[in-house]
């Protein structure tokens, strides 16, 4: 019986290690990935029976990974792993095809019980271990479909390969049709009346594979069953992943082949398959040269993306087969859908194409399959992102000019704005480069920070876990880079709904700033937005479960995650909000709440706080001259509240379930639960909140702010006032 293969996907090493040890003790093969993209690579490169996915994954989150895996192979059972507070998301995952979910912390026994339930469900015989007979469409319509030169050349080889008795090595990517070729060779040979067996060497441990091949148990005793080589006597044995065989077993297989050739016995003809480059396998000592020499014939199968002209023919074949199998009327593709599928790179090759065809037959209720029916994981996502940019240009000339401008900007920045050096690197005349700079209004500044800014995003996706302000539940966020002109977007990890970080979507400024757009909600956004403001991150997708985690009540963790990700400057300018006159909210007086902003050469905030003791009167002026000043003077300042309001704080989640560790608690005389990071930490935190709220404009500000006793409500009013008075257009795509 084939050993079940389990894929663990989590970025917490402790979770991976504990699960892997328990599952391996139960005799399962365990594969591991730290993010969704790596998980999908594994699924597309080898057999996986069950996957355990964490909800909060860096890069492609758990819900996206679930969908992508199911789109590729619906037979893989998925178990979602979730923290408290994300159970609703996990339930949504079950509705979208997950087998079950486990709430962290969970017992290892519970995880093993779920695997046993999955095994009970998966009673159908495996097609990836040692099997005989045909697979899907292999018996009824066994053929290498296609008319492109590469596949035609392979088809022309089949008669000669079938007539030969030589062992064959077939190379090619996963899902490319290596088994179909092997069956064609077997079925066209004089061995066709004898068994055709296949054995995937990668699915067995080093102690078991020898027994599967030679019928020997541990210690060398005779087995009670035949090995694959003996079972396939007179026929053909397809060995998948030949490079996964232990070297000592490879040497024994070499001796077997040599012995059979010497005795001229009609043993099994071996067709070995590998997705790994043979030279690479030899260099890594994964393949024995002696065994390689046994294969006199070598065939390299072309990938599907190198034979795109065959894709429509393959689609018609698969769609026709599945419509007949499920009893549906014949379905067809519209032009846009077919174009999308032909241009997709198909990393899983024909196997992925066949799986998608079955999914479309079952899931699309109409006879016409449109581009909207194609799963998002298959669509060319970059093309959709680029369309947002291209739609801005009315003509080809405008688009070409924009491309040239960005190209020149990139190389000028790369060469430190040195015109002579840039012209030499680009092999154009210096006078021509100067003309381009003039024509495209490119600003060459000695001090770019003060004269010209460019849009920014992160270099890679990041994930952060914490607790919510309102709920106190464990939650998290995933930061994903976005292309220029996208803006800051909050996305719901469960539903996929989004809301732009824009003043138009503010629904609450009580205790914290919250956004809503239809069904998308983003609460407690100000600390994260303040950090993005300081680092000038202008394009970012922030996936949350309705609420940004409050962490320790400050922005320290947000600074760290941005620096861990790295900042990527993009080839589009970032327009500052340069305040042109004085604007005021409220009546300017020491006794009143008010906030003013007026022209200045920098961005600064002077805030006055006047609370009863032990807070007292606090004033602080902050100038954002560099991100280091924000990290040092503002980011560490934490949220604060008063003991007399503890009941209201608890209801709002500020008390974090009673643990009192995500804000500063104050009674009538002293700080109750912590030491202050600054003597005037309270006023610094007010500045932190204001920086976040002001970034709802989506761009940095150049102006001097003076504020007295204001909060989120007044901050939002100032943002609206600036937007209206200065005619500021919305930033972003949502």
List residues with catalytic annotation.
712
Query: How far is residue 113's CA from residue 121's CA, in Å, rounded to a whole number?
Result: 13
Q: How far apart are CA 70 and CA 63, in angstroms?
A: 11
Tokens describing residue 686: 């007010």
Provide the token pair at 41. 């690579």
- Distance between CA atoms of residues 17 and 423, nearest Å: 54
Give the side-chain half-sphere CA count within 13 A for 585: 22
Q: What is the crossing angle of helices 712-725 and 681-694, to 10°?
A: 40
The span from the CA of 86 to the CA of 473, in Å, is 8
Contact assessment for residue 367 and residue 330, using Cβ atoms and an 8 Å cutoff:
yes
CA 152 to chain centre: 37
Query: What does the alpha-carbon distance between residue 655 and residue 663 come to, in Å, rounded to a whole number?
Result: 7
Residues 6+ apart with CB under 8 A from 670: 614
Measured CA angle at 524 (ends 519, 527), to 5 deg = 135
Buried-exposed string 96-131: b where 16+ CB fall within 10 A, e elsewhere: eebbbbbeeeeeeeebeebbeebeeeeeeebbbbbb
Can you tell me the distance from the alpha carbon of 421 to that of 413, in angstroms, rounded to the nearest whole number?
11
Q: Name every residue whose Cβ is closer than 8 Å to that of residue 510 and which is 6 or more positions away in sequence.
A: 712
Tell me how far apart the alpha carbons of residues 19 and 10 are, in angstroms, rounded to a whole number.
Answer: 11
Report CA-CA distances (Å) from 19 to 4, 6, 224. 15, 10, 34
The whole-angstrom separation of Cα 490 and Cα 478 is 10
Give the span between the Cα atoms of 352 and 358, in whole angstroms: 10
Q: How many CB atoms lie within 10 A of CB 455?
A: 24
Distance CA 2, CA 8 (A): 19
């Amino acid at each position: 019986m084939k050993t079940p293969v389990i894929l663990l996907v989590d970025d917490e090493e402790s979770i991976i290690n504990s699960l892997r040890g328990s599952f391996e003790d139960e005799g399962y093969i365990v594969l591991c990935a730290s993010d969704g993209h790596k998980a999908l690579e594994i699924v597309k490169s080898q057999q996986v029976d069950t996957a355990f996915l964490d909800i909060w994954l860096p890069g492609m989150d758990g819900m996206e990974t679930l969908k992508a895996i199911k789109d590729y192979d619906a037979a893989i059972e998925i178990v979602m792993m979730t923290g408290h507070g994300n159970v609703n998301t996990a339930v949504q995952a079950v509705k979208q095809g997950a087998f079950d979910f486990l709430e962290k912390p969970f017992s290892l026994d519970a995880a093993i019980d779920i695997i046993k339930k999955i095994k009970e469900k998966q009673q159908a015989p495996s097609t990836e271990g040692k099997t005989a007979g045909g697979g899907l469409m292999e018996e009824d319509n066994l053929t290498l479909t296609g008319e492109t030169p590469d596949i035609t050349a392979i088809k022309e080889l089949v008669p000669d390969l079938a007539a030969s008795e030589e062992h064959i090595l077939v190379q090619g990517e996963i899902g490319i049709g290596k088994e179909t070729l092997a069956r064609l060779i077997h079925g066209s040979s004089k061995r066709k009346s004898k068994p055709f067996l296949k054995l995937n060497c990668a699915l067995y441990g080093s102690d078991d594979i020898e027994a599967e091949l030679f019928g020997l148990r541990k210690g060398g005793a005779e087995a009670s069953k035949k090995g694959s080589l003996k079972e396939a006597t007179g026929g053909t044995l397809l060995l998948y992943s030949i490079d996964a065989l232990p070297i000592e077993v490879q040497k024994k297989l070499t001796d077997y082949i040599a012995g059979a050739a010497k005795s001229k016995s009609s043993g099994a003809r071996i067709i070995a398959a590998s997705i790994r480059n043979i030279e690479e396998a030899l260099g890594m000592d994964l393949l024995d040269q002696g065994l390689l020499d046994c294969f006199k014939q070598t065939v390299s199968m072309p990938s599907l993306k190198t034979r795109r002209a065959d894709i429509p023919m393959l689609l018609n074949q698969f769609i026709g087969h599945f419509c007949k199998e499920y009893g549906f009327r014949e379905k067809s593709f519209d032009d846009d859908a077919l174009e999308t599928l032909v241009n997709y790179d198909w990393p899983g090759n024909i196997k992925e194409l066949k799986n998608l065809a079955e999914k479309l037959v079952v899931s699309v209720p109409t006879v016409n399959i449109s581009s909207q029916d194609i799963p998002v994981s298959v669509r060319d996502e970059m093309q959709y992102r680029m369309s947002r940019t291209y739609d801005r240009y009315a003509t080809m000339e405008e688009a070409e000019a924009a491309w040239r401008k960005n190209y020149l900007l990139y190389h000028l920045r790369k060469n430190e704005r040195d015109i002579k050096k840039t012209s030499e690197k680009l092999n154009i005349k210096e006078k021509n480069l100067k003309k381009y700079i003039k024509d495209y209004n490119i600003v060459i500044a000695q001090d770019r920070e003060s004269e010209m800014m460019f849009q920014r995003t992160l270099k890679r996706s990041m994930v952060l876990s914490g607790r919510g302000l309102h709920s106190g539940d464990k939650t998290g966020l995933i930061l994903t880079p976005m292309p220029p002109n996208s803006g800051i977007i909050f996305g719901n990890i469960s539903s996929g709904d989004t809301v732009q970080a824009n003043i138009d979507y503010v629904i609450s400024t009580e205790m914290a700033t919250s956004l809503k757009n239809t069904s998308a909600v983003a609460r407690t956004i100000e600390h994260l937005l303040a950090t993005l403001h300081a680092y000038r991150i202008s394009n970012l997708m922030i996936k949350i479960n309705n609420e940004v985690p409050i962490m320790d009540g400050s922005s320290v963790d947000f600074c760290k995650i941005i620096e861990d990700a790295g900042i990527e400057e993009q080839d589009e300018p970032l327009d500052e909000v340069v305040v042109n006159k004085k604007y005021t909210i409220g009546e300017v007086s020491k006794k009143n709440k008010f906030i003013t902003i007026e022209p200045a050469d920098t961005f600064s905030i002077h805030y006055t706080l006047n609370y009863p003791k032990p807070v007292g009167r606090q004033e602080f002026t902050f100038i954002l001259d560099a991100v280091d000043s924000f990290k040092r003077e503002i980011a560490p300042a934490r949220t604060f509240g008063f003991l007399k309001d503890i009941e209201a704080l608890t209801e709002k989640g500020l008390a974090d379930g009673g643990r009192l560790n995500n804000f500063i608690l104050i009674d009538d005389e002293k700080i109750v639960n912590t030491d202050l990071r600054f003597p005037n930490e309270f006023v610094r935190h007010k500045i932190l909140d204001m920086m976040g709220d002001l970034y709802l404009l989506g761009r940095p500000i150049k102006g001097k702010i003076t504020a007295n006793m204001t909060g989120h409500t007044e901050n939002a009013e100032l943002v609206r006032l600036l937007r209206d008075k200065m005619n500021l257009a919305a930033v972003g795509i949502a």
